[in-house]
Amino acid sequence: MEQKPTIFDIAKKYGLILGLISIAYFVILNIAGLVTNQLASYVGYIFSIAIIFMAHKAYKNEGDGYMTYGQGLGIGTLTALISGIISSIFTFIYIKFIDDSFIEQLLDKMINDMEAKGMSDAEIDQAMGFSSFMMTPIGITIAGIIGAIFIGFIISLIISAFTKNTNPEEEI
């Protein structure tokens, strides 16, 4: 009898896939000069949605055909965590060793966005002071992992509602 896959087995596989897709998407956006484009970053969520959906499907197909809401939430969140770690490590290496001007680009974009909103120089200086820790390779790496977990959790909350298939024999 084949052993049912564990949540971690599925999340590890699909987290690696999503992490590699995220890296490739970042490189494409960077080459195209769209890395600070908000719409392009939202398009990236489509990959997360698709991969988490595929992970849920794989868990059910490779197992007994059932997946509870909690299992779906766990698979999706863990997939996002693994992907977030992989892509954040890449981002750290990229910022620290390949393109140290990347943080400057982000800061310039932030300042331009705040100026476009009509913020005063004092307000911009205050906001930039709050952002100083986050605008380091370590800060961006930590924020990337936390952001991946948060977004993955939210996506999993929604997707799991549609992909769950609870075993009626186990419902009590």
pLDDT in tens, 8-24: 999 999 999 999 999 99
Q: Is 36 within the bounds of a domain? A: yes
pTM for this one? 0.89
What's the mean pLDDT in 66-81? 97
Q: Is 22 within the bounds of a domain? A: yes
Q: Is 168 within the bounds of a domain? A: no
Q: Is 16 within the bounds of a domain? A: yes
User: pLDDT digits over 75-101, tens only?
Assistant: 999 999 999 999 999 999 999 999 988
The widest CA-to-CA distance across the chain, in whole angstroms, is 68
Q: Is 53 within the bounds of a domain? A: yes
Enclosing domain of residue 75: 7-163
Helix (H/G/I), strand (E/B), else coil: 165: strand
Does the structure show a pLDDT above 60 at 172? no
Q: Is 170 within the bounds of a domain? A: no
Looking at the structure of the chain, the number of domains it has is 1
Q: Is 34 within the bounds of a domain? A: yes
- The rounded mean pLDDT for the chain is 91
Confidence of residue 171 (pLDDT cuts 50, 70, 90): low
User: pLDDT digits over 88-135, tens only?
Assistant: 999 999 999 999 888 888 888 888 888 898 988 888 888 888 777 788
User: Quick one: CA dihedral 121, 122, 124, 125, positive or negative?
Assistant: positive
Q: Is 23 within the bounds of a domain? A: yes
